[in-house]
Amino acid sequence: MDLVRHLRFFVAVADEGHFGRAAAALDMTQPPLSQGLRRLEQHLGVDLIHRTRQGAVLTSAGIQLLPRARLLVDDADRLHAESQRIANSRGAIHWGATSALPDGMVTACVTALRTRLPADTHSAAAESGIVDGNDSGATVSTTIGTTVELVNEVRAGVCDFAVVEHPALVDGVAAGPVVKLPRWVVVPDDHRSAGAERPTFPMLAGLAFAGPPRAANPPAFDTVVDLLRERGLDVPVEVARDDRTLFAAVAAGTSFGLTATPPSGTPGVAWLRLAPQAIALRLRVIRRPEAAAHADVIDRVLYRERLR
């Protein structure tokens, strides 16, 4: 009997509470699903599901065994993903970067990886992002995402390593030292703070704070909100998932935000240097155990760029 396949049936029925919906979720018909679940129950020697007219209800044994069944199914999925990664991505380096990392630093990291690592380095194949490479260096795939997404991808083996924001929950992965990058407050260029000789945080009252959603990295989000409140600002928050969205909201005259992108001639946007130590962008490299060389390369880039 294919134990993992039949455990997948059990998990699907438990999640859906209905055999028909579980069959649809598994892209199969109901009879083989019911038969498979019966075979699983016979194999385990316990009833897992009560079959009722209203649907499917877990038995006492089913309730106790469901968490273990989920773990086995999830581990099987991870094993499959890892095997595909190894089979499809030889000679590639797959890394991730938080969307808070400026574009110039992302490309600096890619360039360093291409030129400093051997061409036969193994890593994950990219699902999205920037892909680059040549015959003389390693092929580099970059995924841009939230800190929560990147931590999960490193844990699952989809990414070999990633640059994420600090603080963050990084259990289950190796984490390097924290590096601080300069960050600025951006405001509408016609806002009173933009022309002030000594701008202050209270001047930003009346504007919304535009930043990543809390779900992107709850610890970092709460740290920034607490900082603003300590500085006298208790303002509404609107979602800006990256600098492009942030600059658009600021140029519209309704919002301010934080960016590690250095001052530039962006129309409608002014850069302010407020509490530079307090608002600095804190980053660290997280990695899988075998990606120590990769992490060292990125750490050197971050330390070098922070001094510019």
Percent of the chain scored above 90 by pLDDT? Answer: 70
Claim to verify: residue 242 and residue 267 sit in the same structural domain: yes
Reported as a single tens digit per residue, the pLDDT across 45-67 is 999 999 888 789 999 999 999 99
Claim to verify: residue 82 and residue 93 sit in the same structural domain: no
* pLDDT for the residue numbered 149: 94
Claim to verify: residue 224 and residue 274 sit in the same structural domain: yes
Contacts of 63 (CB under 8 A, 6+ apart): none
Claim to verify: residue 116 and residue 126 sit in the same structural domain: yes
Closest Cα partner for 37 from 63, 56, 64?
A: 56
Claim to verify: residue 164 and residue 287 sit in the same structural domain: yes
Claim to verify: residue 200 and residue 275 sit in the same structural domain: yes
Counted domains in the chain: 3
Give the dihedral sign, CA 37/38/44/47.
positive
Residue reference for tokens 């039949």? 6
Claim to verify: residue 223 and residue 94 sit in the same structural domain: no
Show the domain range for 293: 89-177+282-306
Reported as a single tens digit per residue, the pLDDT across 168-225 is 999 989 999 999 999 999 999 999 999 999 999 999 999 999 999 999 999 999 999 9
* pLDDT for the residue numbered 118: 53
Contact between 37 and 45 (Cβ < 8 Å) = no
Q: What angle do CA 278, 283, 284 make, to 5 degrees?
A: 140
What is the average pLDDT value for the chain, to the nearest integer? Answer: 88
**CA-to-CA distance for 301 and 114, rounded, in angstroms?**
13
Claim to verify: residue 238 and residue 223 sit in the same structural domain: yes
Claim to verify: residue 158 and residue 199 sit in the same structural domain: no
pTM (whole model) above 0.75: no
